[in-house]
Structure 1
Amino acid sequence: MGLLGLFTRKPHERAGFALYGAAVGAARQPVFFAELGVPDTLDGRFDLVALHTGLLVCRIARDPDPRAKDLAQAVFDAMFADMDVNLREMGVGDLAVGKRVKRMWEAFHGRAQAYEAALRTGDEAGLAGALARNVWRGEPPEGSAPRLAAIAVAADAALDRVPFAELVAGRVDFPPVPA
């Protein structure tokens, strides 16, 4: 690889970061913390980002377009580049960052698989159970897990309606969460 190869962008990198940014924006809606009682902690915020990014990555991966795999990977890469930067900004040492990011990757992967399986089978109660275990560590405020599951189902349906051309261009809007 020549010197210029070090400075070239990966396919879909810009779109991946834009899409990930949209997922983070959707995950930061105050209603999640104020009304649903999602813990406003590093773990609580990670779980909401993982939910929204997982919905997006799974939507992209389901698309028959041959670019889907690379675009889904670009969103995933953007998420974990951001996690790496955030850990470093919080003062996590260089030697520990890799281990922490690996644990976050494993958590994301497991959550995305569980949420996708429940969504594809229409198991909203199963989705609510998975969200309760992950987001609230088993004890959500009454009605919060089913409500978050309904929000995820609505977001998943909205993402399915986004044309792939919009995703490749880095454009997506998550539906607003009703108050």
Structure 2
Amino acid sequence: MFKTRPSRQAAEQLYAACAAQARRPVFYTHMGVPDRIDARFELYTLHVLLVLLRLREEGQKGADTAQDLFDTYVSALDNTLRELGVGDVAVGKKMRRLGEAMYGRMSAYEKAILAGDEDTLATALGRNILEADEATPEMRAMAAYAMRTRASLADQPFENVLAAPAWAEPMQAAA
């Protein structure tokens, strides 16, 4: 009766993998991402989106897991706000703002990724991560990483993605 659905269990493992990848020090030490909560949110969103895009390619079984991954991410955001001490009354308002931000980012990133448009993705990442008006070398490196990760995930069998997605290696921005 209280058994977790297999897609939910897979989604929780995938979210943990996305979070672990987004926390890798290389993003903060070599790719120019500020070590702030809002910048971490951007990296979590990017990594979750990359996996969501891959899952959606698998038909209904992938769509179920994708929805569960999205729900897991939203729940994690809610839990993080509570852990940061946001009161119950304010959580709803902050979650609404975070949800709007997340949908906006995912929409912008998804369009650029699906179009293979690294320049547009780099500009969007720069705007959201660095609050820059244009793509910086660091965000160009981040966009290239995202595209390589998209290709890496596409090359992996669905079962391998579920078990442990293999991410592309982040590379330091050219000076």
Which TM-score applies when normalising by structure 1? Answer: 0.88
Aligned to 1:9: 4
Matched, 1:171 2:159: no
Q: In 2, are the aligned partners of 1:158 and 1:175 still within 8 Å (CA)?
A: yes
Q: Structure 1 residues 137, 96: CA separation in 2 closer, same or farther (over 3 Å shift)?
A: same
Shift of 1:65: 2.6
AA partner of residue 178 (structure 1): M
Q: Structure 1 residues 91, 50: CA separation in 2 closer, same or farther (over 3 Å shift)?
A: same
Q: Is there any run of 5+ residues in structure 1 with no aligned partner, and where?
A: none
Q: Per-residue CA shift, 1:75-113, capped at 9, x if unaligned?
A: 111111111111111100011112222222221121111
Shift of 1:122: 1.8
Aligned to 1:125: 119
Aligned to 2:23: 28
AA partner of residue 96 (structure 2): K
Aligned pairs (5 A) from 1:27-106: 27-61=22-56, 63-106=57-100
Segment of structure 1 superposing worse, 27-36 or 133-142: 133-142
Q: Structure 1 residues 10, 95: CA separation in 2 closer, same or farther (over 3 Å shift)?
A: farther
Aligned to 2:143: 149
Separation in structure 2 between the aligned mates of residue 141 and residue 67 of structure 1, nearest angstrom: 36
AA partner of residue 124 (structure 1): E
Separation in structure 2 between the aligned mates of residue 120 and residue 142 of structure 1, nearest angstrom: 21
Q: Choose between structure 1 and 2 for higher RCO, CA contacts under 8 A separated by at least 6 residues.
A: 1
Q: In 2, are the aligned partners of 1:22 and 1:173 still within 8 Å (CA)?
A: no
Q: In 1, are the aligned partners of 2:31 and 2:171 still within 8 Å (CA)?
A: no
Q: Is there any run of 5+ residues in structure 2 with no aligned partner, and where?
A: none
Which TM-score applies when normalising by structure 2? Answer: 0.89
Q: In 1, are the aligned partners of 2:12 and 2:72 still within 8 Å (CA)?
A: yes
